[in-house]
Amino acid sequence: MRFKPSIKLLTSKIIFIGGVTRSGKSFLCPIVSSLKDCEMFFMNSFAENITYIDSLKGIEKKYSNFLIRLIFNEVIYNMNIGRNLNQRRNDYTSIHKFKNSKLYLKRMKGLEGNTIVKKIKKHKNIYPVMFHDVLINPKLLLNSFKNSKIIFVDRHPVDLVDEWIRKKYSADFFKNPRNVTLSFNLKGKNYPHWCLKYVRDISKTKNTYKKTILSLSALILKQKSVFKKLEKKYKKRIKIIKFDNLTNNTDKEVNKISKFIKTKISSYTKKEITRQGGNRKINIKLRNNLKNKILNRIDKQTKNLLEKLELSYDKD
């Protein structure tokens, strides 16, 4: 195929909210959705995996660009006609947790077709998207949607190590059929695409703490390296937020976010911040105790990696 595929966008006002697993995306996404002119946030594993495959040069840029745009066109159109909406009340992407769930229930009974296309262009709403590891390939997203922006939530590595061990993310999760992250097989075990640098060490060790720190190092440092190499025009469209600041001073950080994505706080935002447990103090003593527990279970090489992660978190 020599031609370049083309598709006209319904909108490019998309806010990608990313970070590594357990970084705080599920805390922030509902709050962003509570802002004025913001729709209910959603996820799309197909789009995520296209960015991963594209970063590995497994697909030509013109096709990955087309597919990403096609996916979000379809999702956004469906949201506006009330199709394929999540109504499971306990899920964090449930429309029943949105500031105005009646809006989506009304759309289910409404019109479809070109009338909706005109409505989307007229209202110019913002579409927040929870996006795992968004800084692995940010240029594809920002180039595909000219009015898009990225918010990256950065969480302290000690907290992440503890969370990952609790959830067994460095154990056998990637062989689970529920896993939707691009993975590869090595000697009968599945590993995520981003851990290739440390996969030999990860596969050999039986120490869960070491395995987790190796995995997080590969994933976090890769994304921060990509960000540092970005041209200024891309960096202006990316906001990095510390999870500590986001939880300690939620009101202040949300105000910054609203300005960044060019909207305002709504009457629902304060309620959503409270519901998410915002404006709470981080327990530093607990973190220090966790760190000591981790240090007592790892070797010198892994300690150096953890220190590198901490320095990266403090410096950026």
User: Is 186's pLDDT higher than 70?
Assistant: yes
Tokens of 148: 């898009």
- pLDDT tens sequence across 219-234: 999 999 999 999 999 9
CA-derived radius of gyration, the chain: 20
Instruction: For residue 92, count CB atoms less than 10 angstroms from its CB and return exposed for 0-12, middle for 13-18, buried for 19 or more.
Output: middle
Neighbours of 184 (CB within 10 A): 13
Phi-psi region of 21 (alpha: psi -120 to 50; beta: other; left: phi over 0): beta
Amino acid identity of residue 163, one-letter, is E
pLDDT of res. 172:
67
Distance CA 112, CA 301 (A): 59
- pLDDT tens sequence across 192-203: 998 888 898 988
pLDDT of res. 273:
98
Residue 19 host element (H or E): strand 14-19
Cβ atoms of residues 250 and 273 within 8 Å: yes
Q: Where residue 217 falls among pLDDT bands split at 50, 70, 90?
A: very high
- pLDDT tens sequence across 45-67: 999 999 999 999 999 999 999 99
Q: What is the mean pLDDT of the chain?
A: 94
Tokens of 276: 């998410």
pLDDT of res. 210:
95
Neighbours of 13 (CB within 10 A): 24
Cβ atoms of residues 145 and 8 within 8 Å: no
Cβ atoms of residues 210 and 161 within 8 Å: no
Cβ atoms of residues 161 and 294 within 8 Å: yes
User: Is 313's pLDDT higher than 90?
Assistant: yes
Please enumerate in sequence order all residues whose Cβ is within 8 A of that of 139, keeping only pairs 6 or more positions apart, or say none: 230, 234
* Helices and strands, number each (H, E), in the chain: 15, 7
**Domains along the sequence of the chain with CATH:** 14-315 (3.40.50)
Q: Where residue 258 falls among pLDDT bands split at 50, 70, 90?
A: very high
Cβ atoms of residues 119 and 113 within 8 Å: no
- pLDDT tens sequence across 98-153: 999 999 999 999 999 999 999 999 999 999 999 999 999 999 999 999 999 999 99
**pTM (2 decimals)?**
0.95
Tokens of 15: 């806010």
Cβ atoms of residues 95 and 101 within 8 Å: yes
Neighbours of 148 (CB within 10 A): 22
Short-list 207, 169, 160, 214, CA closest to 190:
169
